[in-house]
Chain A
Amino acid sequence: MSALEALYQQLILDHAKARHGADLADTQESAGCRPGQGRSHQLNPVCGDEITLQLNLNGGTVDGIHWHGDGCAISMASASVLTDLAQGLEPDALRALIAHFRDVMRSRGRVEADEELLGDAAALSGVSKYPARVKCAMLSWVAAEDALSQALAG
């Protein structure tokens, strides 16, 4: 598998099209968040990619991630994968997931993905060899981290 094929695996291209969770109306203001809900807007100023992500907590676990965004295949696939993975997780488990994903992304290919933990997100490991693209993959994960803190604070 070439480096490019490792970057754009079929699973990634499929997620980039399917965009699980990309159903947040872009008119919603963050002021409208209720307790147990958090919303974060993240922007990559280098390329203009952006995402607004809302995370809902219910009974102590994640009960739905909804987002809208515009960006490259990597950033859109990453948000889609995260939406699936985060469902039903407790806050600590989601934090651990994000921490491991960040470690893998920043490792320049040196940290191997724990496939059991990362599931489909392990398919994004190839991104770590392209430092210019790590921000694309991280965009929604940073938004989820921020939204989670807000949901817990609210």
Chain B
Amino acid sequence: MSVLPGHTGLKPVSALTHAEVLRVRNDFPILGQTVNGKPLVYLDSGATSQKPTTVLDAEQEFYEQRNAAVHRGAHSLAVDATDAFEAARATVARFVGVEEDELVWTANATAALNLLAYAFSNASVGDSDTGAGRFALGPGDEVLVTEMEHHANLVPWQELCRRTGAALRYIPVDDDGDLRLEEADRLITGRTRILAFTHVSNVLGVINPVETLVAMARRAGALVVLDACQSAPHLPLGLKALDVDFAVFSGHKMLGPTGIGALYGRRELLNAMPPFLTGGSMITTVTMERAQYLPAPQRFEAGTQPVSQAVAFGSAVNYLQETGMERIHQWEAALGQRLVCGLASIDGIRILGPAAGRARAGLVAFDVQGVHAHDVGQYLDDRGIAVRVGHHCAQPLHRRLGLTASTRASTYLYTTADEVDIFLEAVGKVRGYFGVSRGSGS
């Protein structure tokens, strides 16, 4: 069994069994349908996951029985709604190994990263809040990302640098898609103020060495931002144990609804950081001239929040926890190997990221030589197989790999080995269908 940094439960446990996966599937009504006359094979969970009935019911139950404005009003329903909202926060916080006042609701991970970037931005234009100076950036400072980042963990930092005069640097990847750690060591210096990187790449499936990178950042005094979008849904995650300063993830990728995500930040950092969005529900005292702000998490939750989504997100996390994150992780790791081994045996397929036998998440992106990813996806869709095609919001990474687009199959706890085999059989026929002769390149 693989032991990853940040695992909370290290008891040896086995992967989900085939019978358990079949039982899990019964909880997901959408998986039972046919697409283009074929049973749906959903291999796009990396983009968004499907939702179990319990999550759908939780959202409906909230509206039917507990709906009211939270954190305002003294009537009983308002108290009920606030309790449900805050209980969900505690559930999600526990799930990623942090305290509940360190978890801020956001619309999604992109919104969480923008919240951070704009808080730094506000500190940089001379916000007078006590202690905010440590977040101020200017010329001579550097923000370090990696070449494999999703645009959500790249563009907000580009914009922050543009606004403040700080410089953006990146840790390059090698031909196998691994971060070049010797370059990371060289690039992380006293000038580095922020190190932002993804835990698991949404394209390569590679699991980055968080502990090594955090140690480098600590030596340089840089703050660490972890994009946990592809790790929080799929493996046991302890953000405190990983010792990152901030982390972000999205509810919709982990069985929850859209419109809800989270930002984790160390308490002392969140309480010292200037707010991003301001307005109702995040203040203590307001005069006609100025306002004072609540501590985190309310400090960052201006206006009416996505309450029913938060409640349903809590329900999603309960579902994952009851199924067992280590068991889900192991099942997906096995599916990832099945995918990569199967693809490697097909002529004219180039796998992006770790080769068969090396650790990877339960997703694989690949290039079919001579056939554009769009056409691959169309062929698979005709057989009821849903995959992602395109650049997967990682244009710089694709450019680095000499591609403009790839095809990605991504699994989750409800994916069966049979589905992987149906997918592999179909991929094996793609080049023949498009008349690409054996061995010819693109």
Contact between A13 and B391, CB atoms less than 8 A apart: no
User: Could you give 29 example pairs across A and B, Cβ below 8 Å?
Assistant: A3-B36, A3-B382, A4-B379, A8-B375, A8-B378, A8-B433, A13-B435, A17-B435, A46-B390, A47-B373, A47-B390, A48-B391, A48-B395, A48-B404, A49-B372, A49-B404, A71-B372, A71-B374, A72-B372, A72-B373, A72-B374, A73-B371, A73-B372, A73-B375, A73-B434, A74-B374, A74-B375, A133-B378, A136-B374
Chain A residues near B433 (CB-CB < 8 A): 8
**A7 sits at the interface (CB 8 A):** yes
Please name the residue on chain A nearest to B370 by beta carbon. Answer: A17
Fill in one digit per residue for A48-65: 1 if any B CB lies within 8 Å of its CB, else 0: 111000000000000000
**B398 sits at the interface (CB 8 A):** yes
Fill in one digit per residue for B217-251: 1 if any A CB lies within 8 Å of its CB, else 0: 00000000000000000000000000000000000
Chain B residues near A27 (CB-CB < 8 A): none
Chain B residues near A7 (CB-CB < 8 A): 378
A13 and B434 contact, Cβ closer than 8 Å, known pairs A47-B389, A48-B391, A71-B372? yes
Chain B residues near A114 (CB-CB < 8 A): none
Contact between B374 and A49, CB atoms less than 8 A apart: yes
**B405 sits at the interface (CB 8 A):** yes
A49, B395: Cα distance in complex, Å: 12
Closest CB in chain B relative to A45 CB, distance in Å? 9
Known: A73-B375, A130-B378. 8 other contacts (CB 8 A): A4-B379, A47-B389, A48-B391, A49-B374, A72-B374, A72-B375, A73-B434, A76-B372
A70, B379: Cα distance in complex, Å: 19
Q: Which 4 A-B pairs have the closest CB atoms?
A: A72-B374, A72-B372, A48-B404, A4-B382
Which residues from chain B sit less than 8 Å from chain A, CB to CB? 36, 371-375, 378-379, 382, 389-391, 395, 398, 404-405, 433-435
Chain A residues near B378 (CB-CB < 8 A): 4, 7-8, 130, 133
Contact between A133 and B374, CB atoms less than 8 A apart: yes
Closest CB in chain B relative to A130 CB, distance in Å? 7
Contact between A48 and B375, CB atoms less than 8 A apart: no
A48 and B398 contact, Cβ closer than 8 Å, known pairs A8-B434, A72-B372? yes
Please name the residue on chain A nearest to B389 by beta carbon. Answer: A47
Chain B residues near A8 (CB-CB < 8 A): 375, 378, 433-434
Closest CB in chain A relative to B228 CB, distance in Å? 26
Chain B residues near A17 (CB-CB < 8 A): 435
Most buried by A among B371, B372, B434: B372
Chain B residues near A47 (CB-CB < 8 A): 373-374, 389-391, 404-405
Closest CB in chain A relative to B434 CB, distance in Å? 6
Chain A residues near B390 (CB-CB < 8 A): 46-48
Closest CB in chain A relative to B367 CB, distance in Å? 13
Chain A residues near B36 (CB-CB < 8 A): 3
Closest CB in chain B relative to A7 CB, distance in Å? 7
Chain B residues near A133 (CB-CB < 8 A): 374, 378
Please name the residue on chain A nearest to B371 by beta carbon. Answer: A73
A7, B434: Cα distance in complex, Å: 12
Closest CB in chain A relative to B173 CB, distance in Å? 18
Fill in one digit per residue for A92-119: 1 if any B CB lies within 8 Å of its CB, else 0: 0000000000000000000000000000
Closest CB in chain A relative to B1 CB, distance in Å? 39
Closest CB in chain A relative to B404 CB, distance in Å? 4
Query: Which residues of chain A from 1 to 18 have any CB-CB distance to chain B below 8 Å in the complex?
Result: 2-4, 7-8, 13, 17
A74, B389: Cα distance in complex, Å: 15
A18, B59: Cα distance in complex, Å: 54
Chain A residues near B372 (CB-CB < 8 A): 49, 71-73, 76
Closest CB in chain A relative to B362 CB, distance in Å? 24
Chain A residues near B404 (CB-CB < 8 A): 47-50, 70
Chain A residues near B374 (CB-CB < 8 A): 47, 49, 71-74, 133, 136
Please name the residue on chain B nearest to A130 by beta carbon. Answer: B378
